[in-house]
Amino acid sequence: MSDERPGVLDGAIPPQDNTKLFGHEEAEAFLAQSYRSGKGHHAMLIEGPEGIGKATLAFRFANHVLSHPDPASAPETIGDPDPASVVSRQISGGASHNLLHLSRPVDDKTGKVKSAITVDEVRRAGKFFSQTSGTGNWRIVIIDPADDLNRSAANAILKILEEPPKRALFLVLSHAPGRLLPTIRSRCLPLRLAPLGDDALRMALENLGVPAGQGSELLSAAKGSVSEALKLLNYGGGEIIEAYRQVLSADGPAARKAMHRLADALSAKDSETIFGFFLSHIGDDIIERARAAALGGSIATAERLARLHSETTERLNVSQAYNLDRKQTLITILGELKQQISA
């Protein structure tokens, strides 16, 4: 089951089309009750790791609000959206006059998704509110995720959050809320979602057509994230992790050969998804090693690994900003990782 929408993983259901959500019953109950009380906050910061259902929850709640515009008469719970309803069809087709989904746009020249949500995208929100201001309906903006806002876009969103229009609702998604502007965080009510448990993750994958009976190894490696599981299953994530282990365990010419082989795979055409997966994996690996060293009393080692994490992140940012050769950057990083981790 795949979708051609930009940014949607192979095997995933776009959140605006997904009628099922697993593992976040308490968050749904909170949103439903908050809305029904008529005292809900105008901006919710839905935070948690990538791929656990934040966007699906946001679209479900938006569907709930637009289907029941009078809070007092809204159901006490959020039910599965009806794909045949007018509201669901409009949301799915991006044709709702009362819902705006802000995400990284597609570059018209390259056909690829841009690296950030730009201020031009945020200006669409201003136009959206001005066009719907006389309808009296709820107007909902989903920012997916706010981590992708560049500085200008973040400041533009902040201005709207500071003086929100009447009957406006902002659903701000974030994988790493600590990186958002503190002023944006301060104007939102946080709603933290936890990674999915094994049972919820298994049900979510079965809903995507993944055969039942996936082993505990996959569930453990996915860390409660549907998107991580799909990258492991459909993008060769497992092979990338094994190749990384080979780099760290090999010596001499064998290590250099393993580095080049891994860097080639991560630099190939259309490798953005697996490249991002790898960066996340090595970041988590360094952090886990630093934590283990600190717990074991090796404070100096923990500090060295913490510096390595910061330096690796900075090197990658510079490489992407100046469009440097990805393969050479990766070989340099892998060499430093091997040297520091083996020290």
Q: Which of 81, 42, 77 is nearest to 59 (CA)?
A: 81
Instruction: Return the structure tokens found at 315.
Output: 């090197």
Integer angstrom CA distances of residue 22 from 56, 235, 253: 10, 23, 47
On whether the 25-194 domain is CATH 3.40.50.300, my answer is yes
Which residues of the chain fall short of a pLDDT of 50? 1-3
Q: What is the pTM of this model?
A: 0.92
Q: 216 vs 53, 159, 207, CA distance in Å?
A: 21, 46, 18
Read off the pLDDT of residues 272-315 as tens digits, 9 standing for 90 and up: 899 999 999 999 999 999 999 999 999 999 999 999 999 999 99
Q: What are the φ and ψ backbone dihedral angles of 111, each rounded to 5 degrees?
A: 80, 5
The burial class, CB within 10 Å (0-12 / 13-18 / 19+), for 259 is buried
The pLDDT, as a whole number, for residue 340 is 87
Q: Which residue has the tokens 């192979």?
A: 10
The pLDDT assigned to 216 comes to: 81
**Cα–Cα–Cα angle for 65, 175, 45, rounded to 5 degrees:** 35
Assigned token pair, 304: 């060295």
CB 204 within 8 A of CB 196: yes
Q: Where are the alpha helices (DSSP H) in 4-53?
A: 25-37
Nearest alpha carbon to residue 140 among 52, 69, 49 = 69
Tokens of 213: 């009976």
Distance CA 68, CA 325 (A): 52
| 161: number of Cβ within 10 Å | 19
Q: What is the pLDDT of residues 66-117, one digit of tens each?
A: 999 999 999 999 999 999 999 999 999 999 999 999 999 988 888 888 889 9
Helix (H/G/I), strand (E/B), else coil: 328: helix
The pLDDT assigned to 341 comes to 83
Q: Give the orientation angle of helix 252-267 with respect to helix 326-342, to 10 degrees.
A: 140
